[in-house]
Amino acid sequence: MSGDDWLDLSPSPTQGDLMSVRTTPVLVVGGSLSGLCTALFLSRHGLDVTLAERHPGTSIHPRTPGYNARTLELFRAAGVEDAVRAAGPWALDGTGLLWAESLTSPNHRWLRPPNARGAQADYSDVSPADDAILSQDVLEPVLREHAEALGADLLFGTELVAFANDPGGVTAVLADRATGARTEVEAGYLVAADGADSAIRDRLKIDRHGPGVLENVAAIMVRADLGDALRGKRFVIGQVSNPGFSGMVRVVGDRISLHVRYRPADGDAADLFPAARCVELARAATGIPGLDVEVLDVTPWQTTAAVADRFADGRVFLVGDAAHVMPPAGAYGGNTGIHDAANLAWKLAYVSRGWAGPALLDGYDAERRPIAEITMNQAVATRTAWFGRANPSGTPETELLDEVSLLFGYRYPPPGTDGPLVEDPRRPGGEPGSRVPHVWLEIGGERLSTVDLWARGMVLLAGAEGGGWARAADAVARARGLPLTGHVIGDVIGGDAIDVEGRWPEMSGTSPEGATLVRPDGFIAWRTSDPAGPDAHAVLAGVLARTLDAP
Ligand SMILES: Cc1cc2nc3c(=O)[nH]c(=O)nc-3n(C[C@H](O)[C@H](O)[C@H](O)COP(=O)(O)OP(=O)(O)OC[C@H]3O[C@@H](n4cnc5c(N)ncnc54)[C@H](O)[C@@H]3O)c2cc1C
């Protein structure tokens, strides 16, 4: 590799002795939400993965509290939902969005903004899953443990310092932050999960577009024992307003996170928010004048809305905040990164394992970028609708979508088609590009949803009289060594997958003789209402060749 090919992330990236060399199909850089989920999903698809995270462990900051039900669907399929629930999500009161004069003031109410789901949202008609409210510092160890149990090689305390993005592969230099030891990694692909300030994105000269910086915020973390002063109020975000404090408050155990807006023209956050002022702000926000407060951290933070101009460059793919950032209103940011990971992981796994051709990976940018743009615009509009915040001039007006459609109805229209990017999942079309509609099935005595099946590979769901398609799927799977399973959805006699509520014909939009092919991320690749003829094997082989860019 010539020196010119390297893209450096640190001042002395390629200096020092290389201690070792290793190879991996996929190197993930960044071990927070998006990186850990990418590693977990890749491992579920049976692919070896190496992850490098510069911090010695998972995030110690509570950050993202809200994981939406679509994310929990992905966790179900990846086998971590039970562990996430066991980690202790909080139950919420009201909408979970508190407006209060102070956290202890009787003068408070639950914000009921337009399009908010509310804490008691019921998705049972569209999903087997539900939201979960828990802190990122509680979730990440669960993701880490499961990814490692599946064989992912997670290197904490390890930093990417340089990489070269060549047509044949990515070469990366990792540095152990404790010892300085360097390792050269030969990777098939590099996933940049290195956050909003992604140095990888920067070195690849990928710009971003969107409204940009919406506000500057000092994120103040303090420790204080509130005892039972909150009188059992359970909320995700408190919007507090009184003469001594105006801003957003979160309480996680004995830690209180205060977000206060400031103008950089007035000075640096560190100067504007010395410890004594932070103590006063915490007392005003809680409404407890003599509260014992320990200031832990003051971090300047920008609420930003921006999407990368492209999510891929050669063999490098951006996921999560590296690809898109959005305001916290609506809790879309971290969730969107997890959804990126699900879309990318199966593609990387199938290409790396030889089941698909490289053009399959082109679909990542084509499918995820439009959804990230819609979601970012919704987050900006939600911030205005919920908190009355103005946007920079030039920000386009966006009509708020109902959240059920945004969470479960986003689509990946196949190339050459112009279907909608968002549909109402309560009235699914069942067309290629849509998430497979949720229908309860009983398979081998196990109660599963159609949206639970992706982690087992591709799935062909045939109608009650479509057994020929299911047999063709099994035959193609055997012939190609492909993880593809055929099921016949019928009643107790007619199918191996029992349609518990008899909803499949209506939800799938296919005939009893037809079939629906579902990708390993739960999205529909193809469907037919035609009965399987003698050429069913050839028809299906052709569909798979097109879907997977495989010969
Ligand atoms: C106050 C607040 C509330 C929020 N609430 C929500 C919410 O309710 N729901 C929601 O969905 N989102 C929410 N978000 C957004 C969410 O926190 C982020 O979208 C999410 O953390 C992004 O995860 P990520 O893995 O993409 O990036 P990050 O969390 O930024 O992680 C990037 C990682 O990459 C590592 N890294 C960077 N460079 C290197 C390198 N060279 N080598 C090795 N490692 C490297 C970093 O150390 C870091 O761990 C909120 C954000 C804030 C600030």
pLDDT in tens, 307-317: 999 999 999 99
- More confident site: 288 or 133: 288
**pLDDT at residue number 16:** 62
Q: Where are the domains of the chain?
A: 1-393, 440-548
The DSSP-derived string for 2-45 is -GGG-EESSSSTT-S-EEEEEEEEEEEE--SHHHHHHHHHHHHT
Using only the alpha carbons of the chain, give its radius of gyration: 24
Answer yes or no: is the C-beta of 328 below 6 A from any ligand 1 atom: yes
Q: Above 60 in pLDDT, residue 14?
A: no
pLDDT digits (tens, 9 = 90+) for 380-421: 998 888 777 777 777 778 888 988 999 999 999 998 888 899
Distance from Cα 33 to the centre of ligand 1, integer Å = 6
Q: Which of 73, 64, 66 is nearest to 41 (CA)?
A: 73
**Ligand 1: nearest atom to the Cα of 35:** 25
Amino acid making up residue 503: R
Alpha carbon 296 to its chain's center: 28
The residue whose CB lies within 8 Å of the most ligand 1 atoms, and thus the one to mutate among 9, 36, 37, 54, is 54
- Contact, 240 vs 285, CB < 8 A? yes
Q: What residue spans of 353-391 are helical by DSSP H?
A: 362-387
Q: In the chain, what are the helix, strand and coil shares in percent, each to the nearest 5? A: 30, 30, 40
Minimum mean pLDDT range among 11-15, 74-78, 487-491: 11-15
Comparing 64 with 83, the larger pLDDT belongs to 83
Is there an atom of ligand 1 within 6 Å of 193 CB?
yes
Nearest CA to ligand 1 atom 38: 194
For position 282, what pLDDT does the model report?
97
- Quote the tokens at residue 408: 């479960």
Residue 52: CB atoms within 10 Å: 27
Q: CA–CA separation, 115 vs 193, rounded Å?
A: 30
Lowest mean pLDDT among 1-15, 33-47, 507-521, 532-546: 1-15
Phi-psi bin for 99: left (phi > 0), alpha (psi -120 to 50), beta?
A: beta
The residue with tokens 């996170």 is 257
- Residue range 440-548, CATH number: 3.40.30.120
Ligand 1 neighbourhood includes 195 CB (under 6 angstroms): yes
Contact 136/33 with Cβ under 8 angstroms? Answer: yes
Among protein residues, the one with the nearest Cα to ligand 1's atom 2 is 63
Region 206-213: what's the mean pLDDT?
A: 95
Q: How far apart are CA 512 and CA 272, in angstroms?
A: 67
- 105 Cβ contact list (under 8 Å, min separation 6): 242, 287
CA of 320 to the centre of ligand 1 (A): 8
Contact 531, 465 (CB under 8 A): yes
- Whether the predicted pLDDT of 208 surpasses 60: yes
Give the pLDDT confidence of 185-207 residue by residue, as tens digits: 999 999 999 999 999 999 999 99
Mean pLDDT of 83-91: 84
Q: What is the pLDDT of residue 162?
A: 95
Q: Which CATH fold would you assign to the domain 1-393?
A: FAD/NAD(P)-binding domain (3.50.50)
With CA atoms as reference, report the closest residue to 360 among 368, 351, 371, 369.
Answer: 351
How many other CB atoms are there within 10 angstroms of residue 277's CB atom?
15
Per-residue pLDDT, 3: 47
Q: Which residues contact 58 (CB under 8 A, 6 or more apart)?
A: 31, 32, 36, 137, 140, 141, 144, 156
SS3 366: helix
Distance CA 69, CA 408 (A): 9
Q: Among the listed ranges 70-74, 113-117, 322-326, which one has the minimum average pLDDT value?
A: 113-117
The pLDDT, as a whole number, for residue 83 is: 96
Q: Is 334 in the pocket of ligand 1 (CB under 6 A)?
A: yes
Per the document, the length of the chain is 551
Average pLDDT for the chain: 91
**pLDDT of 390:** 77
pLDDT per residue over 222-258, tens digit each?
999 998 888 878 888 889 999 999 999 988 888 899 9
Q: Which numbered atom of ligand 1 lies nearest the CA of 196?
A: 30
Kindly tell me the sign of the dihedral angle through the C-alpha atoms of 112, 117, 122, 125. Answer: positive
DSSP classification of residue 364: H
For the cut 90, the answer to whether the pLDDT of residue 44 exceeds it is yes
Q: Give the pLDDT confidence score for residue 448 in this predicted structure.
A: 93
Contact 516, 527 (CB under 8 A): yes
Q: Name the pLDDT band for 444 (thresholds 50, 70, 90).
A: confident
Nearby residues of 198 by Cβ (< 8 Å), 6 or more positions away: 192, 318, 321, 322
Same topology, domains 1-393 and 440-548? Answer is: no
DSSP result, 329-351: TTS-HHHHHHHHHHHHHHHHHHH
Identify whether the C-beta of residue 127 lies closer than 8 Å to the C-beta of residue 408. Answer: yes
Question: Using CA positions, which residue lies closest to atom 53 of ligand 1?
Answer: 63
ipTM of the predicted assembly exceeds 0.85: yes
* Confidence check: pLDDT of 129 > 60: yes
**pLDDT for res 392:** 74
